[in-house]
Amino acid sequence: MRVISGTARGRSLKPVPGMGTRPTTDKVKEALFSMIGPYFDGGHALDLFAGTGGLGIEAVSRGAEMAIFVDKDPRAVEVVQHNVEVAGMKEQCEVYRNDARRAIKALTKRGIQFQLIFLDPPYRLKDADELLMSMWNGGLIARDATIVVEHDARHQYPSSVGPLYVWKLADYGEIALTMYKVSDDAPVDASQAVLPN
């Protein structure tokens, strides 16, 4: 597992010990970034179920200004801190141990908006759409944001979540990527958006 392109290209990333974390393979990561980038001109990235931190690190390597990593597993947090250091990105990255929902509340208070959001929750969790709605209502999603949800290919996320719509879908065997963008007619005031029943 390595950084594929950009300023930290070729740096090896350490995996999280045990079987609880499933890192995005280099093949899927390469395909993903060729679809959403491949390079960025600044912007903030959020890696919400960070695991190894591979997606957020790749985003910063390819030009994102900074990344915030969140994981509730203490081993994953240690690994992300190690990988951020190996990639030479300590100044551009913040790493937190937290539950995803609590992290969204904490980030909302800070008033940060993200242009890139990665959600790669454990496959047993199928509530990424609810988390996205919380992020939208909290003002965390920039109007030009790209959001990537990595999930079990047998699960299908809705074609729209409030003002977000599916921009691209990609299938890699057992893994699927559902990518959302903000629709042009999304309300300016995020609080007007509600999760459909």
For the segment 114-124, what is each residue's pLDDT rounded down to a tens digit?
A: 999 999 988 78
For the segment 12-59, what is each residue's pLDDT rounded down to a tens digit?
A: 999 998 756 677 888 899 999 999 999 999 999 999 999 999 999 999
The token pair at 140 is 């965390």
Chain centroid to CA 45 = 7
pLDDT greater than 50 at residue 132: yes
CB 104 within 8 A of CB 112: no
CB 108 within 8 A of CB 138: yes
In this prediction, residues 128-136 reach a mean pLDDT of: 96
Cα 95 to Cα 53: distance, rounded to the nearest angstrom: 9
Q: Is the pTM of this model over 0.85?
A: yes
Amino acid 148: pLDDT: 97
